[in-house]
């Protein structure tokens, strides 16, 4: 089964918590939206185990309700066309009691969650799907589960016999967003040299093998320039104020350094054909899209 010529180009990104869409894929979502590509975000949990880092007065709200409003603002900033919530509970960090909550995403039946996502895929008909890498980027149980559920859902969506509403749909390219170790090391050193906080702390790191996070550079298949959309990505991250405080390196890195460090988003193509002969690809829709993105709505940052 292949997409019909009349199916609009669609990018669907699956993320475990409100804020992950902006941190991991904010650039490619805004870029795709400006290229006239439909963009859809699926958020697996409400993020209720996050911390209210900024100490925001939530009033009558619980954290989940507050984060929902932050998410709506972030999606608007990125020009996202469609949003779905899978409705699971945030599983919290590895080993926390929240992992065992019966409604947690971590405890959810993989097949049931994948069937739910497969129905969304059949309804939205994306050619390109993005989720976490197999290690959940930094090991959070919900990020690992988002990867597993997405892999299975893409397969189920294409299976004619699968008990999923809607016509079968074959996703053409499935990616994991990730961070290359080389990039992380460069960012760590540059942040410390600038006197800024690094997510790895103030320690000297001798080489990429010492980094606790990251994917070997050789596994990166795709690097997308999101420089013209970086301002919108950071604005979307800032909308998640309860999670990404103003002193976060995401937001307090001076613009010039941020552009140098964060102006590309990195991916591994895990299913489907690499577009063209060059590696890394420079567009998730390489081989699929006819029109290049227009930075018409970008803010020039
Ligand atoms: Zn997350």
| Spatial strand order in the sheet of 264-271 | 82-88, 38-45, 10-15, 128-131, 173-178, 264-271, 222-225
Domain end position, chosen among 165, 192, 214? 214
Q: Clarify whether residues 53 and 197 are in a common domain.
A: no
- What's this model's pTM, rounded to 2 decimal places? 0.91
Q: Clarify whether residues 98 and 224 are in a common domain.
A: yes
Residue 185: inside a domain, yes or no?
yes
Q: Clarify whether residues 201 and 170 are in a common domain.
A: no
Q: Clarify whether residues 103 and 174 are in a common domain.
A: yes
Pairing mode of beta strands 38-45, 10-15: parallel
Going from the Cα of 243 to the center of ligand 1, the distance in angstroms, rounded, reads 10
Going from the Cα of 6 to the center of ligand 1, the distance in angstroms, rounded, reads 34
* Residue 300: count of CB within 10 angstroms of its CB: 8
Q: Assess whether pLDDT exceeds 90 at residue 141.
A: yes
Average pLDDT, the chain: 90
Q: Clarify whether residues 69 and 101 are in a common domain.
A: yes
Q: Clarify whether residues 66 and 204 are in a common domain.
A: no
* Residue 134: count of CB within 10 angstroms of its CB: 16
**Residue 259's pLDDT band (cuts 50, 70, 90):** confident
d(CA 11, CA 126): 5
For the chain, how many structural domains are there in total?
Answer: 2
Going from the Cα of 291 to the center of ligand 1, the distance in angstroms, rounded, reads 32
Residue 300: inside a domain, yes or no?
no
Q: Which domain holds residue 208?
A: 181-214
CA-to-CA separations, 59 to 50, 56, 63, 66, 209, in angstroms, rounded? 17, 9, 10, 9, 45
**Residue 301's pLDDT band (cuts 50, 70, 90):** very low
Cβ-based neighbours of 166, under 8 Å, separated by 6 or more: 119, 122, 123
Q: Clarify whether residues 147 and 193 are in a common domain.
A: no
Q: Clarify whether residues 140 and 246 are in a common domain.
A: yes
Cβ-based neighbours of 144, under 8 Å, separated by 6 or more: 132, 134, 135, 136
Going from the Cα of 53 to the center of ligand 1, the distance in angstroms, rounded, reads 14
Going from the Cα of 143 to the center of ligand 1, the distance in angstroms, rounded, reads 6
Q: Clarify whether residues 140 and 166 are in a common domain.
A: yes
Q: Assess whether pLDDT exceeds 50 at residue 144.
A: yes
Q: Can you give the CATH number for the domain in which 56 is found?
A: 3.40.50.10320
**Residue 6's pLDDT band (cuts 50, 70, 90):** low
Q: Clarify whether residues 201 and 272 are in a common domain.
A: no
pLDDT, tens only, 156-210: 999 999 999 999 999 999 999 999 999 999 999 998 998 888 888 888 888 888 8
Q: Which residues lie near ion ligand 1 (Cβ < 5 Å)?
A: 16-17, 20
Going from the Cα of 137 to the center of ligand 1, the distance in angstroms, rounded, reads 9
Cβ-based neighbours of 98, under 8 Å, separated by 6 or more: 49, 89, 90, 91, 92, 104
State the distance between the two ends of the chain, measured CA to CA, in whole angstroms: 40
Joined tokens for residue 224: 């997308």
Residue 78: inside a domain, yes or no?
yes
């Amino acid at each position: 089964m292949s997409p019909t010529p009349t199916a609009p180009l669609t990018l669907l990104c699956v993320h475990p918590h409100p804020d992950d869409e902006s941190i991991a894929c904010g650039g490619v979502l805004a870029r795709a939206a400006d290229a006239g590509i439909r963009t859809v975000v699926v958020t697996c949990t409400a993020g209720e185990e996050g911390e209210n880092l900024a100490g925001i007065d939530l009033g009558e709200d619980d954290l989940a309700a507050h984060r929902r409003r932050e998410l709506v603002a972030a999606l608007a900033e990125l020009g996202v066309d469609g949003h779905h919530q899978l409705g699971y509970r945030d599983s919290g960090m590895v080993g926390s009691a929240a992992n065992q909550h019966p409604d947690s995403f971590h405890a959810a039946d993989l097949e049931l969650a994948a069937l739910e996502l497969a129905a969304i895929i059949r309804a939205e008909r994306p050619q390109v799907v993005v989720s976490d890498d197999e290690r959940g980027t930094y090991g959070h149980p919900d990020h690992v589960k988002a990867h597993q559920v997405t892999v299975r859902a893409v397969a189920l969506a294409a299976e004619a016999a699968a008990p999923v509403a809607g016509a079968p749909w074959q996703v053409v390219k499935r990616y994991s967003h990730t961070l290359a170790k080389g990039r992380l090391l460069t960012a760590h050193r540059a942040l410390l040299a600038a006197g800024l906080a690094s997510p790895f702390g103030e320690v000297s790191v001798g080489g990429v093998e010492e980094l606790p996070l990251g994917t070997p550079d050789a596994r990166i298949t795709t690097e997308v320039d999101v420089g013209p959309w970086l301002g919108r990505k950071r604005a979307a991250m800032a909308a998640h104020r309860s999670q990404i405080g103003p002193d976060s390196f995401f937001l307090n890195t001076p613009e010039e350094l941020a552009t140098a460090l964060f102006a590309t988003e990195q991916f591994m193509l895990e299913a489907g054909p690499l577009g063209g002969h060059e590696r890394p690809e420079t567009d998730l829709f390489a081989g699929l899209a006819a029109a290049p993105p227009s930075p018409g709505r970008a803010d020039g940052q």
